[in-house]
């Protein structure tokens, strides 16, 4: 990407999109365009095509998506599949028709099958049943990945896609009901510290293992891939190693400075025993993540407290 | 009483698809769409919405919504106008982007417009390409997404999976009645006879035709002759579609077909008869069977009370004639 290239970040207000924005600005890119959902509804075919034909961006980061937890997926299945499919169809087709040089679609590791062998490799896509709790979102994302491949094959475009692992960092969702495990732990430990509670209850046995990547590392990988990856397969972006929930809880406890006890509520479900991406491909291209979990947690807790402070005011 | 029930069934009163209902068949040029229109007309449905591709571009989100809001159809048969082109192995190979995005866009536009304009019921017609490449002997409805799909049909196959999932998601969230079906491999008049839709059969006709022309005393068919292929007549597919529109309310797709098929050996015997040649037939078991056997399990639709009527055997003679004629002209 040339420094003055016109870059469109779709979904710049989301957790991933805003991290990509920070990274682009830090790297000195100065011709970035963004749209809010009121300015441009990405689900509207005609408007999206018009936008691309007028703006003619050279590079596109497609980070716009309807996202949410298990509860949201369960309550709004039609919106999850329709909105995500329309965004992908509209943006990818408009990018092709307006001559975009390169596009990066942000996927998710949830596109891999429920019983996927670990660590999950790029070729495991579509080899088995999807996780039913987010199948609507997952199927739409799979279609997005395949749309990129199909356009490349038929029209010679350069549309790539990447599959990030569980992300954390600024802009995350700390909602009690539908947040992911890491932000949920931060909130629980922080609340416990503030209220002087003696114990923090962690869901499940604490034995299952998950992988976590700081969203700034993902943004770094996105820029790297835009410059260095031309492959057809979606490329995994992860830390490369996983951590048990109990060890993660200890790290969060330490970073928050909570002195009480951790208990495990084994009446709550654990989910799959392990979720780890195989990152051999991106590592072989020369990319490695930089932000350790300890360092990332420290930053994230800081931004969580700021976020809370702003809300209070 | 029996007469009354028969009358209600006949007029469609009992299960919907009322005789005066406004029915939209999304395409009337493809085999399935045109067969459905033909049968609806034959049964006296005269409130059919006809739109040519020139009048309504199904890829245009806004135009589709406007069409639905202006015409307010009650029932929709969602067929793909380009099934034999984009849904074929050739279409998937040469036009992957279209095979995926054409189907996805049309499905998305029609299903969303149907929901917004309060369509009573919609039937999405999918295809066997949704099923994994390697499947149980007869393929059941819940086999899709359990393994990699056939790579030569992956683009249209994925789109057709998304169509089923769209229907299910709308039903779950909005309480719509959008059902889907999977017709087995089908054949019919005016086809363009692509190898994949007549697995092993065209090759067999070719062998027989050659033997007849050169008066060969014997022919050799590769493989054991025991592989089965399913051949469903297009009129049976259309009949089942109308049947499902009246009777089925489930979220799972429903297979349409015989649930079995003739073996190569049985086909060969029929061909010998219809082509009036009497060679000695050998099977070269050292060579592999042709296309892998793909038969859809039809237990579900049978349990609802539907069975196919047209056997391949009774349709073989016109099929041979028409295929050979087309081959000659090329």
The residue of B145, B154, B160, B164 whose CB has the most chain A CBs within 10 angstroms, and thus the best one to mutate to test that interface, is B145
Among the listed residues A208, A209, A224, A210, the one whose alpha carbon sits nearest the alpha carbon of residue A289:
A224
- A155–chain B nearest CA distance, Å: 8
Name the phi and psi angles at B138, rounded to 5: -110, 135
- B97–chain A nearest CA distance, Å: 4
Please say if the pLDDT value at position B1 is more than 70.
no
Q: Which residues of B299-318 are buried (b: 16+ CB within 10 A; e: fewer)?
A: ebbeeeebebebebeebbee
Q: Please give the pLDDT value at position B122.
A: 98
CB pairs under 8 A between A and B: 92
Catalytic, A137? Answer: yes
Residues present in chain A in total:
313
Asked if B96 lies within 8 A of A82 by C-beta distance, the reply is no
Q: Please give the pLDDT value at position A73.
A: 85
Per cent of chain A over pLDDT 90 is: 81
Q: Please give the pLDDT value at position B13.
A: 47
Query: pLDDT, tens digit, for every residue of B240-253?
Result: 999 999 999 999 99
What is the distance between the alpha carbons of residues B98 and B82, in angstroms, rounded to a whole number? 10
pTM listed for this prediction: 0.92
Number of C-beta neighbours around residue A274 at 10 A: 15
User: Which tokens hold the place of A310?
Assistant: 């702003």
- Chain A positions contacting chain B at CB under 8 Å are 44-46, 75-82, 85-86, 89, 92-93, 96, 126-130, 135-136, 139-140, 142-143, 146-147, 149-151, 153-155
Strands B186-187 and B138-139: unpaired
Q: What is the mean pLDDT of residues A267-292?
A: 92
Greater model confidence, B183 or B261: B183
Please say if the pLDDT value at position A173 is more than 90.
no
**pLDDT band per the 50, 70, 90 thresholds, residue B14:** very low
Asked if A82 lies within 8 A of B155 by C-beta distance, the reply is no
Q: Can you say whether residue B259 is alpha, beta or left, with left for phi > 0 and alpha for psi between -120 and 50 degrees?
A: left
Asked if A77 lies within 8 A of B168 by C-beta distance, the reply is yes
Asked if B188 and B234 count as a contact pair (C-beta separation under 8 A), the reply is yes
Catalytic residue among A137, A151, A168, A304: A137
Q: Please give the pLDDT value at position A51.
A: 98
Q: What is the mean pLDDT of residues B267-280?
A: 89
Q: Please give the pLDDT value at position A12.
A: 97
Task: Tell how many helices (H) and how many strands (E) occur in chain B.
Answer: 12, 12
Q: Which residues of B83-102 are buried (b: 16+ CB within 10 A; e: fewer)?
A: bbbbbbbebbeebbbbbbbb
Asked if A78 lies within 8 A of B158 by C-beta distance, the reply is no
- The H or E element spanning position A244 is strand A243-244
Q: What is the mean pLDDT of residues A3-11?
A: 97
Asked if A60 and A19 count as a contact pair (C-beta separation under 8 A), the reply is no
Q: Please give the pLDDT value at position A251.
A: 96
- CB-closest option in B95, B104, B170 to A85: B104
What is the number of alpha carbons within 13 Å of residue A245 lying toward its C-beta?
A: 27
How far separated are the first and last CA of chain A, in Å rounded?
40
Asked if B148 lies within 8 A of A147 by C-beta distance, the reply is no
Q: How far is CA B40 from CA A19, A213, B10, B120, B235, in A?
A: 56, 57, 13, 17, 11
Specify the 3-state DSSP secondary structure of B265.
helix
Which of these ranges, B16-25, B144-153, B191-200, B286-295, has the smallest mean pLDDT? B286-295
- A142–chain B nearest CA distance, Å: 9
Beta bridge partners of B23: B48, B75
Number of C-beta neighbours around residue A195 at 10 A: 7
Query: pLDDT, tens digit, for every residue of A24-40?
Result: 999 999 999 999 999 99
Residues of chain B contacting A86 with CB distance shorter than 8 Å? 61, 108
Query: pLDDT, tens digit, for every residue of B112-139?
Result: 999 999 999 999 999 999 999 877 778 9
Residues present in chain B in total:
330
Please say if the pLDDT value at position B9 is more than 70.
no
**pLDDT band per the 50, 70, 90 thresholds, residue B12:** very low
Burial of B3 (0-12, 13-18, 19+ CB in 10 A): exposed
Residues of chain A contacting B108 with CB distance shorter than 8 Å? 82, 85-86, 89
Q: Please give the pLDDT value at position B195.
A: 86
């Amino acid at each position: 990407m040339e420094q003055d290239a016109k870059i469109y970040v779709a979904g710049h207000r989301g957790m991933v999109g805003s991290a990509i924005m920070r990274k682009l600005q830090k790297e000195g890119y100065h011709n970035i365009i963004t749209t809010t959902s009121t300015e441009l509804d990405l689900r509207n075919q005609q408007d999206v095509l018009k936008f691309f034909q007028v703006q003619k961006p050279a590079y596109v980061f497609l980070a716009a998506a309807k996202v949410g937890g298990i509860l949201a997926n369960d309550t709004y299945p039609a919106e999850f599949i329709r909105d995500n499919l329309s965004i992908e169809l509209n943006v990818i087709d408009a990018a092709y028709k307006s001559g975009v040089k390169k596009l990066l679609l942000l996927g998710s590791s949830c596109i891999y099958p429920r019983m996927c062998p670990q660590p999950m490799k790029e070729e495991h896509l579509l080899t088995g049943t999807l996780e039913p709790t987010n199948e609507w979102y997952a199927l739409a994302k799979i279609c997005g990945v395949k749309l990129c491949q199909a356009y490349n094959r038929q029209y010679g475009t350069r549309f790539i896609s990447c599959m990030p692992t569980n992300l954390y960092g600024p802009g995350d969702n700390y909602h009690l009901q539908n947040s992911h495990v890491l932000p949920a732990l931060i909130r629980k430990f922080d609340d416990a510290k503030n209220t002087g509670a003696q114990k923090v209850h962690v869901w499940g046995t604490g034995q299952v293992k998950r992988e976590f990547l700081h969203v700034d590392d993902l943004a770094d990988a996105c820029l790297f891939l835009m410059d260095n990856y031309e492959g057809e397969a979606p490329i995994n972006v992860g830390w490369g190693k996983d951590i048990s929930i109990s060890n993660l809880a200890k790290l969060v406890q330490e970073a928050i400075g909570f002195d009480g006890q951790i208990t495990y509520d084994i009446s709550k479900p654990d989910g799959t025993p392990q979720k780890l991406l195989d990152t051999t491909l991106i590592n072989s291209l020369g990319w490695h993540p930089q932000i350790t979990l300890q360092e990332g947690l420290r930053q994230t807790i800081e931004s969580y407290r700021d976020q809370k402070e702003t809300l209070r005011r | 009483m029996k007469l009354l029930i028969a009358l209600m069934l006949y007029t469609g009163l009992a299960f919907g698809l009322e005789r005066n209902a406004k029915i939209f068949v999304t395409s009337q040029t493809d085999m399935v769409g045109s067969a459905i229109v033909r049968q609806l007309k034959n049964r006296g449905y005269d409130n059919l919405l006809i739109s040519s591709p020139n009048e309504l571009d199904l890829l245009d989100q806004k135009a589709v919504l406007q069409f639905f809001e202006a015409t307010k159809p009650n029932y929709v048969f969602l067929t793909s106008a380009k099934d034999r082109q984009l849904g074929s192995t050739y279409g998937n190979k040469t036009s992957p982007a279209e095979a995926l995005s054409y189907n996805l866009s049309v499905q998305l536009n029609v299903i969303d417009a149907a929901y917004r304009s309060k369509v009573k019921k919609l039937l999405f017609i999918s295809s066997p390409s949704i099923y994994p490449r390697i499947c149980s002997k007869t393929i059941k409805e819940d086999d899709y997404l359990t393994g990699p799909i056939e790579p030569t049909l992956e683009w249209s196959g994925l789109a057709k999976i998304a169509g089923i999932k769209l229907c299910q998601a709308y039903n779950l969230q909005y309480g719509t009645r959008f059902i889907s079906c999977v017709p087995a491999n089908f054949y019919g008049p005016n086809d363009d006879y692509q190898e994949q839709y007549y697995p092993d059969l065209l090759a067999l006709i070719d062998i027989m035709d050659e033997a007849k022309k050169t008066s060969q005393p014997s022919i050799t068919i590769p493989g054991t002759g025991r592989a089965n292929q399913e051949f469903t007549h297009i009129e049976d597919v259309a009949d089942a579609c109308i049947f499902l529109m009246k009777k089925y309310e489930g979220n799972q797709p429903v297979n349409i077909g015989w649930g079995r098929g003739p073996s190569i050996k049985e086909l060969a015997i029929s061909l010998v008869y219809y082509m009036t040649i009497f060679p000695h037939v050998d099977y070269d078991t050292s060579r592999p069977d042709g296309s892998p056997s793909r038969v859809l399990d039809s237990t579900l639709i049978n349990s609802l009370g539907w069975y196919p009527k047209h056997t391949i055997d009774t349709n073989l003679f016109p099929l041979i004639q028409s295929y050979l004629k087309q081959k000659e002209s090329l």
